[in-house]
Amino acid sequence: MARIEVDQVVKRYASDTIVDREASRTRPALNSVSMAVADGETVSVVGASGCGKSTLLKVVAGLEYPDAGRVLYNGTDVTYVRPQERGVGMVFQDYALYPSMKGQGNLAYYFQVHDRTEEEAEQRVRETADRMGVGFEHLLGRVPTTLSGGEQQRVAIARCIVRDPQLFLMDEPISNLDAKLREQTRIEIRKLLRKFAITTLYVTHDQQEAVFMGDRIAVMRDGDIQQLGSFDELYYTPANLFVATFIGSPPMAVLPVVVAGGEVVVGDLRWRLPDDVRPAVPDGPVRLGVRPEGWIVDAGDGAVLRVRHRERIPTERASFLYGSVGGAAVAVATAIDFPDRSEVRVTPEWSRAYFFAADTEDPIHLPGVLELF
């Protein structure tokens, strides 16, 4: 198994026509990306469509060569080593099992093309089937068309594991499955990843899936990694406003406010900052970020939240109230027995508030990692 390093990788496609969001200039698909994945670790790579996730995966696999930068496996430069020689197992959205072969044949195929003995193939397939867990054995006797999407994905994963890969690369492996099956399959995949402890890069556009799968999560945007960290790091100490609003559901509310003399001015309302926060936030325009659990409901000096929609979360014995404050979309988490009202007053709980610079969107003051309960 391997420790993976991506070192200042730049990748431009020949038809490089990607237009930057802000300026009318092109940018590379990967814009000097660096990251390190520890041996046995699963890192989720998440971001909107087109941000460079698949390109990053392909460069790590050797399916694309970078224009600059290096890829290292266990400290060895493999940037220009062919994919077949890297010992990488890949699972993509379309399962790409060999359709005419049963599960058994799909798993054994690698040994045939590499001129290994039938005995070795059989033994490895049997071991892998055992390790894949209960119920896997019977998939070996079936052709892919008779398997459900989830079952095909299990066979695809086993086909990677049987070769004892250094590294697992998964690109949206369950996005073809329906919601119920997706839930089951992602639990299954996570169990397998933890059990086999194979270094894994897991690409998804879905932040909840990324959080569920990854030991750490890399948030990408426009060919850059904005932040790579654990869920707590991304959630409580985001690198910028983009990461702050990307991670968390419902998302953080972002209020454009002005700070003056230790007070936060929102429209005609003024909130006095507490003594421990005041010195950290300079006067001027800032972005105030408040997560759903960061509001105090029915406080004396609260802003009026007109409740447009209420979503009940019975398992949490809570509800989300959706509305707006100072023109910004706001979600407020509150106890479920909260009376159904069209208006409540809300104030940020300042120990949970986030402040970002209005221009650069860099953090000015963050809550730091908090205990959830």
**Contact set with ligand ADP (CB under 6 A):** 13, 15, 18, 29, 47, 49-55
The token pair that represents 219 in the structure block: 């948030």
Q: What span, in angstroms and rounded, lies between the C-alpha atoms of 255 and 324? A: 10
Nearer to ligand ADP, 16 or 283 (CB): 16
Q: CB nearer to ligand ADP: give 18 or 299.
A: 18
Measured between alpha carbons, how far apart are the two ends of the chain, in Å?
Answer: 37
Q: How many CB atoms within 10 Å of residue 119?
A: 9
Nearer of residues 1 and 18 to ligand ADP, judged by Cβ = 18
From the CB of 281, what's the least distance to ligand ADP, in Å? 35
Q: Name the nearest CA neighbour of 222 among 13, 80, 18, 370.
A: 18
Compute the least distance from the CB of residue 29 to ligand ADP, in Å: 4
Helix (H) / strand (E) containing 242: helix 241-246
Cβ within 8 Å of residue 279, ≥6 positions away: none
Handedness of CA 90, 95, 96, 100 (dihedral sign): positive
As measured in angstroms, the least distance from the Cβ of 152 to ligand ADP is 22
- CB-CB contact of 332 with 290 (8 Å): no
**Closest CB to ligand ADP among residues 63, 318:** 63
Least distance to ligand ADP, CB of residue 31, Å:
11
Q: Judged by CB, which is closer to ligand ADP: 51, or 213?
A: 51
Nearer to ligand ADP, 200 or 334 (CB): 200
Residue 153 beta carbon to ligand ADP: minimum distance, rounded to whole angstroms = 19
For residue 51, the minimal CB distance to ligand ADP (Å) is 4
Tokens of 227: 């932040």
Gap between the Cα atoms of 100 and 173, Å rounded: 21
